[in-house]
Amino acid sequence: MSVQGKGGAIQVTGEVIGQRKAGDYHVLTLTAPGIPELARPGHFVAIAVGGPNSSMLLRRAFSIYSVQSRGVYGGTLEIVFAAHGKGTEWLAKLHRHDQIDIVGPLGRPFALPKEPVSCVLVAGGYGSAPMFSLADALRARGCRVDVVLGASTESKLFGVLDAKRIAASLTLTTDDGSVGEHGRVTDALPAVLARTDADVVYACGPMPMLKAVAEIAAEHGAYSQCAVEEAMACGIGVCMTCVLPVVGDDGVTRMLRSCVDGPVFRGDRVRWDEVGTIPEGTLGAPVSGGH
């Protein structure tokens, strides 16, 4: 039970320690015995919603926002969510001491550079959740960390204070101009990359944002590590619903599972324009005329 990576997830009963609002989002603090100790930046957890007799069968996946491996309650972790569906509305109503079934840590975490290079972290909305523990890990390696956070409006930005604490520079963007630069993160990104001479870009957010980030990073000669937000049913690699087309080392495109092969992918390997399709030439793709 202590092996990291693909074989390292556990299923535990956790307890709600606290719940707070952060702008339009909710932050839930949970005990999750054994998981905080194993979690690395970019890992996620899959949480059963609706209680023991729930009619909602599918677990909800959340990036781990923060972990504390020691404390009054032992190990705890925090997740961030928007209450925009039946499952997340149920989560938002949880109280202190309520029990919750958690599976994690899941997925492949962010790859960290071996050298103390310059890194830019880009996120949209609460996609920023995994970025702060990542920033801590990068800084511990001597990396420079600059952060770009964006959202449609100010109340949908998450982690501005965390970013101010950690980042060498923080750039904010909002679609409505309520705070920071008027526009999208991808409008602000090229200037940040040029100014910081970034070697690696880390990103988390919706697919169109990740596609644009990957392209901008490539134009600047930087590597990109993109954490996707793809719909999942199980989170553990058995249901095959969360696939997207990714090019392998051998040049062959395969439909890979976001949950176990991701959620972090190299930006230059995902066929962003063709997410939601089976691109021609994908391993096992239907040949024209059908099977």
Partner 1 sequence: MTRAVITHGPRRDTAVVVPDIDMTAWLGNLELASPVLTASGCAAAGRELDQFFDITTLGAVVTKSIMLNPRSGRPTPRMAETPSGMLNSIGLQGPGIEAFLDKDLEWLRERGARAIVSIAGGSVDEYTRLASKLRHVSDIAAIEVNISCPNVEDRGQVFACNAAAAAEVITAVRRNTAPGIPVLAKLSPDVTDIVAIARAVVDAGADGLSMINTLLGMVIDTDTMRPALAGVTGGLSGPAIRPVAVRCVYQVHAAMPDVPILGMGGIRTGLDALEFVLAGASAVSVGTVTFHDPSAPVRVARELAIALAERGFESLESAVGYAHRAPDPVPASGGATTEHGETEDADAVVEAGAEG
- Near partner 1 by CB under 8 A, which window of 67-75, 130-138, 192-200, 253-261? 253-261
- Residue 4 beta carbon to partner 1: minimum distance, rounded to whole angstroms: 12
- Near partner 1 by CB under 8 A, which window of 7-15, 17-25, 69-77, 217-225? 7-15
Does residue 238 bind partner 1 (CB under 8 A)? yes
- Near partner 1 by CB under 8 A, which window of 121-129, 131-139, 216-224, 226-234? 226-234
Query: CA-CA-CA-CA torsion for 35, 39, 44, 48, nearest 10 degrees?
Result: 0
- Residue 217 beta carbon to partner 1: minimum distance, rounded to whole angstroms: 24
The residue within the footprint of partner 1, chosen from 59, 184, 211, 220 (CB under 8 A), is: 59
Does residue 263 bind partner 1 (CB under 8 A)? no
Number of Cβ within 10 Å of residue 286's Cβ equals 10
- Residue 183 beta carbon to partner 1: minimum distance, rounded to whole angstroms: 26
- Residue 258 beta carbon to partner 1: minimum distance, rounded to whole angstroms: 10
- Near partner 1 by CB under 8 A, which window of 11-19, 63-71, 122-130, 261-269? 11-19
The residue within the footprint of partner 1, chosen from 18, 37, 73, 101 (CB under 8 A), is: 101
The residue within the footprint of partner 1, chosen from 17, 58, 117, 168 (CB under 8 A), is: 58
The residue within the footprint of partner 1, chosen from 161, 191, 194, 240 (CB under 8 A), is: 240
Closest listed residue to residue 87, CA positions, set 15, 128, 129, 28: 28
- Near partner 1 by CB under 8 A, which window of 64-72, 132-140, 197-205, 271-279? 271-279
Q: Do 145 and 119 form a contact (C-beta atoms < 8 A)?
A: yes
Q: Which residue has the tokens 């204070």?
A: 161
Does residue 7 bind partner 1 (CB under 8 A)? yes
Nearer to partner 1, 82 or 243 (CB): 243
Does residue 236 bind partner 1 (CB under 8 A)? yes
Does residue 289 bind partner 1 (CB under 8 A)? no
Residues binding partner 1 (CB under 8 A): 7-13, 48, 53-59, 101, 103, 230-231, 233-234, 236-244, 254-255, 260, 275-278, 282-286, 290-291
